[in-house]
């Protein structure tokens, strides 16, 4: 039997009667992610998904790495399968763990017996396999308290599996199991992280970007597309909606008091996002707002911008420290692209002294000179769609 990959489910295992729904969504996402890597048999039993290659030419290192970025998986294990006899398990451990055993100074064997009908206890299996390993590698000490290497044996329904330490998975919930949301995606550090965090909770995303050419460059748009493509490694394929925003910002600049520029701009963004949500069946809007980070992210300012919509606004970064956000951006690979010097529309016509504690009535009065419905209609009609996918 050849190597396979075992995917350990995360919080799905805590579900009750609806567990099957979440499990099927996860299996579907796993199959979709594997499609570009080769042909696999994918099965599920006892809260573990088995990924078995159908040919020997599949890159299992690449496959294992890809599986660490599928939400809903707590741990990824690359293992060798063998018959469920103590002799077969010991021989497979001696062969499969050879390199790791030669490099380790000490080891122990841990056994999990999912097949309760198997005649030996977990301790008995560990003792037998550990003894055989100790004979095969006499220079490696047995240390059951603090070993350098743990050799894992899993006795399951159809076979036994030998492996080293599991690799942490992405965690969270399978994308698509908790609905659809429109996520505002700029070229900055925060919005890719907020999108990632909501996708991790099982939400399928429709990214929306606001583009203000010629005030923002084509490079700025390409930067956002690149960020979106990076996110698909975790979020799956998405369609980026790019809304033309130049006319709206020029109208705000020409007709509204400067101190309200950013607030009114944000209110237009929310209106357009809600229109996109209604057209696509999305049930929420995601933003990368962080309380107190900038003038438009005070409680009063956020209340003002959200007052124009009736959908819930999800703000996963709202209480995070900037360094925490940067740490996640580095982890998911978006940080270096986010800091490229191509600014987005949020930096266009920035007021020198923005209102940080606005009254809603004041903001409504300031924007009343604009033909709001016509401007929103124009932006929605001008939406450009870009298909995003992980290469």
Separation CA 336–CA 342 (nearest Å): 12
Instruction: Assess contact for 159 and 261: CB atoms under 8 A.
Output: no
Q: Which residues contact 182 (CB under 8 A, 6 or more apart)?
A: 205, 206, 207, 208, 241, 273, 274, 276, 277, 280, 282, 284, 285, 286
In the chain (391 residues long), the average pLDDT of successive 10-residue segments reads: 86 90 95 93 91 92 95 96 95 96 96 93 96 96 95 93 95 96 95 98 97 90 96 95 96 93 95 98 96 84 94 96 96 94 73 84 95 97 93 64
How confident is the model at residue 178, as a pLDDT? 95
Separation CA 152–CA 160 (nearest Å): 10
How confident is the model at residue 192, as a pLDDT? 97
Question: What angle, 0 to 180 degrees and rounded to 10, lies between the N-to-C axes of helices 299-306 and 261-280?
Answer: 50
How confident is the model at residue 2, as a pLDDT? 66
pLDDT tens column, 237-253: 999 999 999 999 999 99
Instruction: Assess contact for 42 and 33: CB atoms under 8 A.
Output: no
What is the 8-class DSSP label of residue 138?
T
Q: Please state, in angstroms and as integers, the Cα–Cα distance from residue 121 to each residue in 47, 87, 124, 130, following that order.
A: 21, 15, 5, 14
Burial class (CB in 10 A: 0-12, 13-18, 19+), 30: buried
How confident is the model at residue 170, as a pLDDT? 96
Separation CA 54–CA 284 (nearest Å): 41
pLDDT tens column, 17-48: 899 999 999 999 999 999 999 999 999 988 89
How confident is the model at residue 345, as a pLDDT? 67
pTM of the model: 0.91
Instruction: Assess contact for 328 and 230: CB atoms under 8 A.
Output: no
What is the 8-class DSSP label of residue 216?
S
How confident is the model at residue 343, as a pLDDT? 73
């Amino acid at each position: 039997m050849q190597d396979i990959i075992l995917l350990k489910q995360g919080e799905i295992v805590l579900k009750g009667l609806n567990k099957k729904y979440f499990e099927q969504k996860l299996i579907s996402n796993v199959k979709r992610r594997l499609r570009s890597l080769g042909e696999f048999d994918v099965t599920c039993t006892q809260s573990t998904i088995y990924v078995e290659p159908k040919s020997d030419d599949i890159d299992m290192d690449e496959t294992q790495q890809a599986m660490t970025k599928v939400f809903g998986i707590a741990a990824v294990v690359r293992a060798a399968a063998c018959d469920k006899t103590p002799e077969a398990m010991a021989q497979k451990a001696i062969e499969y763990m050879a390199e790791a055993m030669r490099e380790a100074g000490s080891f122990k064997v841990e056994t999990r017996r999912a097949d309760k009908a198997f005649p030996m206890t977990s301790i008995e299996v560990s003792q037998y396999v550990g003894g055989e390993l100790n004979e095969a590698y006499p220079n490696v000490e047995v240390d059951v308290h603090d070993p350098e290497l743990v050799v894992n044996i899993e006795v399951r329904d159809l076979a036994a599996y030998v492996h080293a330490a599991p690799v942490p998975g992405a965690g969270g919930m399978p994308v698509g199991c908790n609905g659809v949301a429109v996520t505002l995606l700029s070229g900055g550090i925060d919005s890719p992280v907020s999108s990632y965090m909501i996708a991790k909770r099982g939400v399928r995303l429709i990214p929306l970007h606001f583009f203000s050419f010629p005030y923002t460059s084509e490079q700025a748009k390409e930067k956002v597309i690149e960020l979106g493509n990076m996110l698909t490694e975790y979020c799956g394929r998405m369609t980026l909606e790019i809304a033309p925003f130049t006319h709206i910002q020029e109208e705000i600049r020409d007709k509204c008091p400067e101190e309200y520029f950013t607030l009114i701009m944000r209110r237009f963004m929310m209106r357009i996002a809600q229109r996109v949500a209604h057209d696509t069946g999305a049930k929420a809007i995601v933003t990368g707002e962080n309380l107190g980070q900038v003038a438009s992210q005070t409680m009063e300012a956020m209340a003002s911008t959200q007052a124009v919509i009736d959908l819930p606004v999800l703000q996963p970064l709202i209480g995070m420290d900037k360094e925490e956000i940067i740490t996640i951006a580095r982890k998911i690979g978006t940080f270096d692209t986010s800091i490229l010097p191509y600014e987005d529309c949020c930096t266009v016509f920035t007021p020198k002294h923005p209102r940080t504690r606005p009254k809603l009535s004041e903001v409504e009065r300031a924007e009343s000179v604009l033909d709001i419905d016509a401007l929103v209609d124009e932006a929605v009609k001008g939406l450009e769609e870009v298909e995003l996918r992980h290469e």
